[in-house]
Amino acid sequence: MAMAMAMGEKPRKLLVLYASQTGNALDAAERIGREAERRGCPASIVSTDEFDASYLPHEEAVVFVVSTTGQGDSPDSFKSFWKFLLVRNLRKDWLQGVRFAVFGLGDSGYQKYNFVAKKLDKRLSGIGATTIIEKGLGDDQHPSGYEGTLDPWMLSLWSTLYQINPKYFPKGPDVKISQDDLIDQPKYRILYLKQEKLESTLLTDSDIIQRARGMSPGKLYKDKSKPDCFLKMTRNEVLTKAGSTKDVRHFEFQSVSSTIEYEVGDVVELLPSQNPSAIDAFIERCDLDPESFIIVGPRETENSGVNEEMNTQLPIKLKTFVELTMDVTSASPRRYFFEVMSFYATAEHEKERLQYFASPEGRDDLYNYNQKERRSILEVLEDFPSVQISFEWLVQLVPPLKPRAFSISSSPLAHPDQVHLTVSIVSWITPYKRTRKGLCSSWLASLTPEQEVHIPVWFHKGSLPAPPQSRPLILVGPGTGCAPFRGFIAERFVQAQSIPVAPVMFFFGCRNKDTDFLYRDFWEYHTREGGMLSEEMGGGFYTAFSRDQPKKVYVQHKIREMSKKVWDLLRDGAAIYVAGSSTKMPADVMSALEEIVSEEETGGSKEEASRRLKALEKAGMYNVEAWS
Amino acid sequence: MANQKTVLAVTDDVVLPVSSVLTIMAQLGNERFDPLIVTQASTINQFPLDSSSVDAVLAISKTSDFPSDKICGEFSRILKPGGTVFVCKNLEGQVEDMQQTIQRRVTLAGFLEPQCLDLKSIKLSTFSLSFGIKAKKPSWKIGSSFALKKPAKVLLKVNLDDDLDLIDEDSLLTEEDLKKPQLPVASGCATTKKACKNCVCGRAEIEEKAVKLGLTEDQIENPQSSCGSCGLGDAFRCGTCPYKGLPAFKLGEKVTLSRNFLEADI
């Protein structure tokens, strides 16, 4: 964690600290670092979960690049760092002498737009640091995304830093990128192994995955490369009825490796398989030898020296590495990929076009062609056939294959040795009218139990902690949001066989009762005598079918209808859980609850109600899992 | 070459031969110098020397009391900044205690970097030495200036596992921040090119049902392009190109559909 410097290393002038959830802030941070280096200013790019905040006073200039999620939350990698900065006892001049600038990535479609960046900017000033320039707020709603704001903000940053001290940029604040020479070098190097040096032992699937993913640049600091276990599908059932616009599946899985260990409400991450013909097409297009054995490691630089470790690492087949770690058919490349491609294009019109795409002038057009259309790496390479790019660059620039997370809809008590998932199959039409499908959901939908495909998975905690059986529950889960609550209710039912359990109120919503009423039989079973949602148990089941009548009815309306009962349960110590895929739903539900609290409490105000609910949140009694 | 250095040799003894001083100083690493010798110095209040005038001081004694605190202070006064003091002793018995005492005395008088030297090997005619303490006078005098180093920042260690008193982060937001943010483009999703990813209003379904290929049969059979870019693929097409979304093709040849379009909807 300390920044001990090797002998002869140039001390950095600029520290770029980033907090990234999905990789966007990391990209922006790398871009800022690159632009600084191009101007002769040594920079370091470090994630906030790898930097000890107590060393901040030693820095002379820091640029923060922080993302805000839809619900206004900070990335996981930011939480510890932020907590440190919030300590009340920090002196008002603790960061005296430290200059900073904040760039935020957010979405103005959400109420809590760029809250993380705004709070950080304010707090840094409050503990003595000096702003270089005003905070930049990148916006997904902008025609070219956050880059639309980043480009001009960076120019302002460089010119201001230059004014403060020309030594920052010995070459001046502006730099012309040579059209002919690529200044940068790939960050990774590939060792190709001779056939004789290979081990003869057979590797298990688990070992192979661990080896490949352990080498991959896409590996995040806290990721586990080795899967927790392998699952095979035992059931693939369509839940939505004919006539529905959606395709939602119920999947069941069993383990084929170690025992399954999770708690109700947890999240499981699956590593999807990629289309084999797409992998072959990519390998052929890039002129690679699929059967060669490789080791991937960081390239030596003046700062890091030769990486001796690489000589003792174990190799992996190139094709396997591509399959398991490089996303060639789904994720879109970043702007930097186009910049690097432009140097390797031999056809003149391709080179020009790529240079245009990588320039500030061509940014919007690039956004339309690439990001909005969700072009895959393979598609881009096929659109620019004269580009021959080395594997080192590909390893760095091809988006990493990411596992996809799902809320588990089963309970270990009620469904021992099984994992159930409720998955909406993602598919949409692009602006150019091409059909795109979600990689993981489509792949899962195509699987059958007979194929016996082994799926590598990781379990981890989500935002919904498993409730004790004695706690009353208010559950709000429209659409696929009902998934974790199926687990909650199934679990409580088993618990009820031996111990008394507290009541459960469950609010469900969907468009039409007839077509997308997921798990209808299950909920209705529990409304009958002895069920967890029955009246006699003190609970209830409430449905909002938004399109079954002219007026839209949503879960928040149903919650308001049941004001009295909700309030009674809250007074009995109920915990609130909200889950679902929607931008506005969690905020609407919060509003409805605030209204209930302020009304039922005689003399209560909206502010007081808001405070009460926030306190519940802090105490872990108000939990939201929202996905997009 | 270096100027003649001034060295003051002091002892509480009655006699101190110059040759001894020269030998000792030579052993301690000083070659050319001008020695001044003061004997019976235990009762001296002040040396008849100007402040900061002497390069080195050599104090030789067989007793434990000499040099006293007061005399050490005098050494400090007459020494030039950066000058060296050598306190040499000939004592039997507990050398360590005496070493420590002298070191402390010398440090209290304001000297820096005290070092202990073994002097048993120095051959002298009339007496012998056991050990010596060497120390340096700090290199500033009143009125001299030097660059101040950046004030050392205290490393703040906070244990985040404890229940800390944190400020309320929401208090960092202004009224302006809490208002609903302004969207950068004209409001309403009707103006965006496609339905949102999380489309809840149904536009996505409508778009899905729309006709995929808006081209005439002739445009597919015999594609023409006045700009010349249509055949190169989406990367090169204009915003209004009718062939947008289709794969690359050669002008005049029938437009083929790539696997994107032929993929069956599961």
Per-window interface: A 392-411 vs B, CB < 8 A: none
Amino acid A389: pLDDT: 94
- Is A144 annotated in a binding site? The answer is no
Contact B193 A582 (CB under 8 A): no
Kindly give, in sequence order, each residue whose CB lies less than 8 Å from that of residue A103, ignoring residues fewer than 6 positions away.
A28, A32, A63, A64, A65, A66, A117, A135, A136, A137, A138, A149, A150, A153
Q: Do B194 and A429 touch (CB under 8 A)?
A: yes
- Residue A158 tokens, joined: 């460089």
DSSP one-letter string for A445-502: HH--GGG---EEEEEE--S-PPPPTTS-EEEE--GGGGHHHHHHHHHHHHHTTTS---
Above 50 in pLDDT, residue B126? yes
pLDDT higher than 70, residue B199: no
For residues A20 and A220, is the Cβ–Cβ distance under 8 A?
A: no
Is residue B153's pLDDT more than 90? Answer: no
- A428 and B198 within 8 Å at the Cβ level: the answer is no
Q: What is the DSSP letter of A553?
A: -
Residues 588-627 of A with CB under 8 A from B: none
- Residue B136: the pLDDT is 87
Calpha distance B98→B100 (Å, rounded): 5
Amino acid at residue number A92: K
Stretch (H or E) spanning B84: strand B79-89
B196 annotated as belonging to a binding site for a ligand: yes
A11 touches B: beta carbon within 8 Å: no
Compute the nearest-CA separation of B245 from chain A (Å): 5
Identity of the residue numbered A73: D
At residue B261, the pLDDT reads 41
Query: How far are the Cα atoms of A96, A110, A127 from residue A130, in angstroms, in the given order?
Result: 7, 29, 9
Give the pLDDT score at A348. Answer: 93
In this structure, are residues A286 and A389 in contact, taking their beta carbons and an 8 Å threshold? yes
Cβ-contact A322, A215 below 8 angstroms = no
Nearest CA in chain B to A376: B260
- Cα–Cα distance for residue pair A212/A318, rounded to 1 Å: 9
Q: Which of A66, A428, A441, A613 to mutate to test the interface with B (most CBs of B within 10 A)?
A: A428
Which of B197, B248, B260 lies nearest to residue A628, judging by beta carbons? B197
The per-residue pLDDT for A179 is 57
pLDDT score of A180: 61
Low-confidence ranges of chain A (pLDDT < 50): 1-9
List the structure tokens of A531: 């069920």
The reply to whether A87 touches chain B by the CB within 8 Å rule is yes
* DSSP label of B182: P
3-class SS shares of chain B: helix, strand, coil, % to 5? 25, 15, 55
| Separation CA A621–CA A188 (nearest Å) | 46
Does this complex have an ipTM over 0.90? Answer: no
A583 and chain B in contact, CB less than 8 A:
yes
Angle formed at CA A89 by CA A85 and CA A93, multiple of 5 degrees: 75
Peptide bond into B67 cis (omega under 30): yes
Given a contact cutoff of 8 angstroms between Cβ atoms, the answer to whether A586 and A626 are in contact is yes
pLDDT tens figures, B80-121: 888 889 998 887 776 778 888 888 888 888 788 888 888 888
Q: What is the pLDDT of residue B112?
A: 80
Report CB contact under 8 Å: A55, B180: no
Top-confidence residue, B56 or B229 = B56
Helix orientation angle between A318-325 and A205-215, rounded to the nearest 10 degrees: 80
Q: To which H or E segment does residue A280 belong?
A: helix A276-285
Mean pLDDT for all residues in chain B: 74
Report whether A230 contacts A260 (CB < 8 A): no
Which residues does chain B have within 8 Å of residue A279's beta carbon, measured at their own beta carbons? Answer: none
Nearest to A232 by CA among A419, A401, A473: A419
The sheet with strand A293-298 has its strands ordered as A188-193, A293-298, A316-317
The residue assigned the tokens 């920042």 is B153
Q: Which residue of A has its CA nearest to B183?
A: A108
- C-alpha closest to that of A291 among A359, A192, A362, A373: A192
Q: What is the pLDDT of residue A211?
A: 87
Residue A210, amino acid:
Q
Residue A69 annotated as part of some ligand binding site: yes
